[in-house]
Structure 1
Amino acid sequence: MNTSALSNEEVKQLRAETKGTSEKVHFNNAGASLPPDVVVDTVVNYLYEEASQGGYETEAKYQQRLDETYNLIARLINADKDEIAVVENASIAWGLAFNGIDFKPGDVIITSEMEYTTNLLGFLKAKQAHGVEIKVIPNDEQGNFSLRALEETITAQTKLIAITHIPSTAGGMIPIVEIGKIARKHNILYLVDACQTAGQVPIDVKEINCDILSVTGRKYLRAPRGTGFLYVRKEVQDKLRPLFMDGHTAQLIDENTFEIRNDGRRFEVYEKSRATTLGLAKAVEYALNIGVDRIWQRVQYLAGILRDQLRNVDGVTVHDFGAQQCGIVTFSVKGTDAQTVKNELAMQNINVSVGQARNTLIYMNKNHLTSIVRASIHYYNTGEEISKLINALLAIIANK
């Protein structure tokens, strides 16, 4: 395994393979990364072939490559291909698994203050429908998830530990490996939302000890929008009920009986975009060829530079905290709301995003934040681009 730092020459080559880097300074990778040209070509060429040869005929021609998607994803997260379902996005993946859990009145769901809005909505729906209880583990004064508080919160009624590894509107990270050890010790179902993790941070589901992992393609994996995947550990697949079925999910034995398939594809349906599935596969392969360890090393390096430089700008407050931080850098500019900052940067061809309170509601409310500027780094970003962002912010502050 190559763990050496990406060289300047490699970064130049990777940028040359990504058309968008010549047009924009893109710091919105936590929203949607710029895809490599080969991913775009894979999708477009497949669509052209569908248009000229027919959809089913093209699928038959590329069946082996479509099936290889599951092997590539399994390599990415150290799973078995029979534990993978290809779906449209992380929210679909998360919802398919979560809503397949057999909740009973009095069951307890444990989560963190960093949980994403869609997942919180799922908890509240389960509370209304099944009478479950939701317990939130707050971060400590240093901004770290408290493993001790987690241990103290677990009871015989604890049904699920559901954790978002990297939150939407903060640069801190939740210790999912250590949480997994606790979940396994107590034999509690463990669900990890890794939508910001895959393609940025190395993932090993065996090391995490998770039962379920949900991932989107469009973020750090640099895959097309409308792609994602779900991992469900083989041993728990029968414990989750499929929310709906088609002839792909199950097969009819006779007119009165059916049998659900015995792998992870029971959680997907037959009809999906074959073009974007191949795009997802190509994006995963691209990340694997670079090495996710190397990607993570560069992301941390660049994010560290950005945070240091932001902290030296009078009028800018960096909001990231915690022992381990990722490529998402959040900050605010005194006297200028986040949307205005985003708009002014866009005029300079610099993409950032705005993190709203609703995206990570518990955390944002606790820290009295209504919105923040989110600049999310990827390996194809450069120090020169960081300097452009800093200079643009200095100009915004000077012109207030």
Structure 2
Amino acid sequence: MTAPGIDLERVRRDTPGCRERVFLDSAGSSLPPTPVLEAMVAHLHREARVGGYVAAAERADDLSGLKVSLARLVAADAASIALCDSATRAWNDFFQAVPLAAGDRVLVTEVEYAGNAIAVLQRARAVGASVDVVPSDDHGRIDLDALDRMLDERVRLVSLVHVPTNGGLVNPVREVADLAHEHGALVLLDACQSVGQLALDVVELHVDALSATGRKWLRGPRGTGFLYVRPDLQIEPAELDLHSAEWTAPDSYRIAGDASRFEFWEADVAARLGLGAAVDYLLELGVDEVERAVRAGADRVRADLSDIPGVSVRDLGEQRCGIVSFTVDGFDPTEVRDALAARDVVVTVSARTSTLLDMSARGLDAVVRASPHYFCSDEDLDVFVGAVREIAGR
């Protein structure tokens, strides 16, 4: 159910893959629009003709423009944006820079992502810090009252997942940031599943850092991501190179004054140009229009799936987004995924190990995850729901 402001015919024409199958895995790795593919391939051809250095120098303005576009996307200043090769790298680069010592505390939520949790546990074990879990409220969101009680002067960081990988829940952000800042704690927002489908304003959200990927809702290439760092936050990365810092004397160096201190010199230039094309494509469509379209499609799918006997929608939260998780009685989620694939419908499975705390608390080993983007038509959603109905009815 695309929003009125989006030209569905155009975006489907720009997305050949969505005309060959029903694609419902933008929460995994979405289908890049044609301009993304063209930007990347053209640059690779140029590199083959003149070499990587010359080709990159020719596109210096476009590479600088990528930060401007990303800044527009999250309502930030371009100087506060660092380009990374993934959301994981972006998240870890900031987390490893946060001062952490014996006796310090890190707070995570019940929907923490496994990649983040492992990094937190590893570092906490190494330095003698503790990791505490903020419980969820009755709707599945972070319990703000519990957070308020758990915060003290020893908390160095609150790790907040905006949208978990296993469902449509949207966590409150500004409320968490305000509470954390009262106690001097930093807030690192994992926006891996929200950037590209939800309108975000980092100033309004009041977060200290935000990590995101290019390959999901932004519809960019794999191997791309970015990090936002609050401009006035003076924090030194755990790792530096000759791009993030300057060697000024035999025994000294000077760190870059903006977020580029979180970047390394080497990068996949073609991928970054592809990411720029993806972000500009989204900005042209309008982030608010995209959010409306994504919500409408997901809401419709949830309602239709809920009407099928034997199908249980597993999404938590009062405010929900474009991820729809469900199970089918009598079927392992992988069986449902494979049965849908045989009908040219692409979904994925989110396993317990990705969001261990939440899934364990709910007694779930896995869920089927569908994530319709704005390029999905009403006919696509009809085919998907009909296929699930057929599978559940066997």
State whether TM-score is above 0.5: yes
Please give the alpha-carbon distance, in whole angstroms, between the structure 2 residues aligned to 1:8 and 1:93.
33
Look up the match of 1:30.
27
Please give the alpha-carbon distance, in whole angstroms, between the structure 2 residues aligned to 1:288 and 1:262.
28
1:102 matched to 2:96? The reply is no
Paired residues for 1:136-147 under 5 Å: 136-147=133-144
Look up the match of 2:175.
178
Paired residues for 1:1-400 under 5 Å: 6-7=3-4, 10-236=7-233, 238-239=234-235, 241-399=236-394
Please say if residues 86 and 213 of structure 2, whose CA atoms lie closer than 8 Å, have aligned partners that are also in contact.
Answer: yes
Q: Give the deviation of 1:9 after TM superposition.
A: 6.9
SS of the residue corresponding to residue 59 of structure 1 reads: helix
Q: Give the deviation of 1:93 after TM superposition.
A: 0.3
Please say if residues 109 and 132 of structure 1, whose CA atoms lie closer than 8 Å, have aligned partners that are also in contact.
Answer: yes
Please give the alpha-carbon distance, in whole angstroms, between the structure 2 residues aligned to 1:185 and 1:245.
31
Please say if residues 153 and 183 of structure 2, whose CA atoms lie closer than 8 Å, have aligned partners that are also in contact.
Answer: no
Amino acid at match of 2:384: L
SS of the residue corresponding to residue 253 of structure 1 reads: strand
Q: Give the deviation of 1:254 after TM superposition.
A: 2.0
Amino acid at match of 2:298: A
Over 3 Å counting, the alpha-carbon distance change for 1:364 and 1:9 in structure 2 is closer
SS of the residue corresponding to residue 390 of structure 1 reads: helix
Q: Give the deviation of 1:8 after TM superposition.
A: 8.1
Q: Give the deviation of 1:120 after TM superposition.
A: 0.6
Q: Deviations over 1:238-283 (max 9, x none)?
A: 32x3222221111111222211111111111111011110111111
Please say if residues 163 and 171 of structure 2, whose CA atoms lie closer than 8 Å, have aligned partners that are also in contact.
Answer: yes
Please give the alpha-carbon distance, in whole angstroms, between the structure 2 residues aligned to 1:308 and 1:131.
47
Aligned residues: 393
Amino acid at match of 2:144: L
Amino acid at match of 1:211: D
- TM-score for both structures, normalised by structure 2: 0.97
Amino acid at match of 1:369: L
Please say if residues 152 and 183 of structure 2, whose CA atoms lie closer than 8 Å, have aligned partners that are also in contact.
Answer: no
Please give the alpha-carbon distance, in whole angstroms, between the structure 1 residues aligned to 2:161 and 2:392.
34
Q: Give the deviation of 1:131 after TM superposition.
A: 1.3
Q: Give the deviation of 1:287 after TM superposition.
A: 0.8
Amino acid at match of 1:395: E
Amino acid at match of 1:71: V
Over 3 Å counting, the alpha-carbon distance change for 1:56 and 1:9 in structure 2 is closer
SS of the residue corresponding to residue 249 of structure 2 reads: coil
Over 3 Å counting, the alpha-carbon distance change for 1:255 and 1:381 in structure 2 is same
The runs of at least 4 aligned residues of structure 1 exceeding 4 Å deviation read none
Q: Give the deviation of 1:355 after TM superposition.
A: 0.4
Q: Deviations over 1:276-326 (max 9, x none)?
A: 101111111111111111111111111110000000000101111211111
Q: Aligned-residue CA RMSD in angstroms?
A: 1.2
Q: Deviations over 1:341-362 (max 9, x none)?
A: 1011001110000000011110
Out of 127-136 and 337-346, give the one that drifted further.
127-136
Amino acid at match of 1:226: G
